[in-house]
Amino acid sequence: MILSIESSCDDSSIAVTEISTKKLLFYKKISQESEHAKYGGVVPELASRLHAVTLPKILEETKEYFGSLKAVAVTNEPGLGVTLMEGVAMAKSLASMLELQLIAVNHLKAHIYSLFIEKESFFPFLALLVSGGHTMILRVESYEKIAILATTMDDSIGESYDKCAKMMHLGYPGGPVIEALAIEGDRDRFNFPIPLINSPLIAFSLSGLKNAVRLQIEALGGAENLTMQDKRDIAASFQKTIIAHLMQKSNKIFEREKIEDFAIVGGVAANRAINDAFDTLCKKHNKRLHSVALQYCSDNAAMVGRYALDAYGKKDFCEISKIESIVSKKDKNRKLL
């Protein structure tokens, strides 16, 4: 069995996966969302302190598996340095105490493998990875071979949902609340510019949209003066613009890439409207759309464990003294290539 640990941001999670059957034997996640909501975003030091309390509590529940473990896997990058440290420290102790192999897991690759927690793996495929930290389209050919086809030049999509919600004092995380408000809103009330619409670049950019939303809120008298309908209409117009941006750039990639399977992974993959738009785009290009079970879209240790199964098969192990957690930097994405 492999025990896996996730602490890259504000979710403390541990899973145990059986190597021979690929079955998830144990899975638990404690989210800190409500603790961070009052600050409108994740406070790294608070997140780190909460991991230090919750991870050992969850670990207690996995003791019955300790005798059967062959490896311990942990997310070591990218993410918040101080929170990654909590998981990495626990994994190092377990590996050395129980004499286990140690597997270092890239968080983005774990999101990609979330696709295979409940179904057989398949390759190759194109993937849209959309989370709080990343927005990219990837060509996934195998465990070893992943290429970035497009990435964001500034903010990520999840981050822009979070900021849009924060500007309207709607708490954190912003994705689910903006999506829910958008259902009741008039998406044509505000005409936010579609990013990079006239640019030949195959890339994403969300910072201009964020600014347009900020200016619109100011024009309506500031967050305190928004009516409920204003908030719904801003949410709907914002989401419509995000979807138009995603469709325009993805369409260009779909015209070029002949691979027939396409998947959406990461926290934002929970968004119904984005899924529906890709469903239509995939039909137009004769591609099959794959989605991740809702409970595994956001950060979790089950996907870390699923990735670790393949790493274990390939003996992709890491020395205890060499594993490092690395603070997220935009150019760290390049490590995937």
String marking each residue 251-290 x if it binds Zn ion according to CB under 5 A: ----------------------------------------
Burial class of residue 187 (count of CB atoms within 10 Å of its CB; 0-12, 13-18, 19+): middle
To Zn ion, the closest distance from the beta carbon of 91 in angstroms equals: 18
Write out the two tokens for 317: 């192990």
By CB under 5 A, name the one of 86, 230, 233, 299 that touches Zn ion.
299
Write out the two tokens for 82: 């101080």
- Choose the one of Zn ion, ligand KG4, none that binds residue 86, judging by a C-beta under 5 to 8 angstroms depending on kind: none
Q: Is 160 in the site for Zn ion (CB under 5 A)?
A: no
- Choose the one of ligand KG4, Zn ion, none that binds residue 208, judging by a C-beta under 5 to 8 angstroms depending on kind: none
Report phi then psi at 117, rounded to 5.
-65, -40
* Host H or E run for residue 56: helix 44-60
- Choose the one of ligand KG4, Zn ion, none that binds residue 162, judging by a C-beta under 5 to 8 angstroms depending on kind: ligand KG4
How far is the C-alpha of 79 from the C-alpha of 203, rounded, in Å? Answer: 22
Write out the two tokens for 301: 């240790």
Residue closest to Zn ion (Cβ): 131
Q: How distant is the alpha carbon of residue 92 from its chain centre? A: 24
- Choose the one of Zn ion, ligand KG4, none that binds residue 268, judging by a C-beta under 5 to 8 angstroms depending on kind: ligand KG4
For Zn ion, the binding residues in 86-145 under the rule CB under 5 A are: 131
CB nearer ligand KG4, residue 174 or residue 305:
174
Strands 135-140 vs 146-151: parallel, antiparallel or unpaired: antiparallel
CB nearer Zn ion, residue 42 or residue 94:
42
To Zn ion, the closest distance from the beta carbon of 75 in angstroms equals: 9
**Chain contacts with ligand KG4 (rule: CB under 6 A):** 9, 131-133, 158-159, 161-162, 173-176, 179, 266-268, 270-271, 298-299
Strands 125-130 vs 261-265: parallel, antiparallel or unpaired: parallel
To Zn ion, the closest distance from the beta carbon of 80 in angstroms equals: 11
Q: Show Cβ contacts of residue 225 under 8 Å, excluding neighbours closer than 6 positions.
A: none
- Choose the one of ligand KG4, Zn ion, none that binds residue 176, judging by a C-beta under 5 to 8 angstroms depending on kind: ligand KG4
The SS3 call for residue 239 is: helix
How far is the C-alpha of 68 from the C-alpha of 58, rounded, in Å? Answer: 18
CB nearer ligand KG4, residue 8 or residue 101:
8
To Zn ion, the closest distance from the beta carbon of 150 in angstroms equals: 18
Q: Is 11 in the site for Zn ion (CB under 5 A)?
A: no
Neighbours of 85 (CB within 10 A): 19
Q: Residue count of the chain, please give it.
A: 337
Of the candidates 2, 3, 5, 10, the residue with the CA atom closest to the CA atom of residue 30: 10
CB nearer ligand KG4, residue 126 or residue 235:
235
CB nearer ligand KG4, residue 26 or residue 172:
172
CB nearer ligand KG4, residue 100 or residue 264:
264
Q: For tokens 């708490």, what's the residue?
A: 171
- Choose the one of Zn ion, ligand KG4, none that binds residue 270, judging by a C-beta under 5 to 8 angstroms depending on kind: ligand KG4
Of the candidates 170, 168, 162, 216, the residue with the CA atom closest to the CA atom of residue 189: 216
- Which residues of this chain interact with Zn ion, rule CB under 5 A? 131, 299
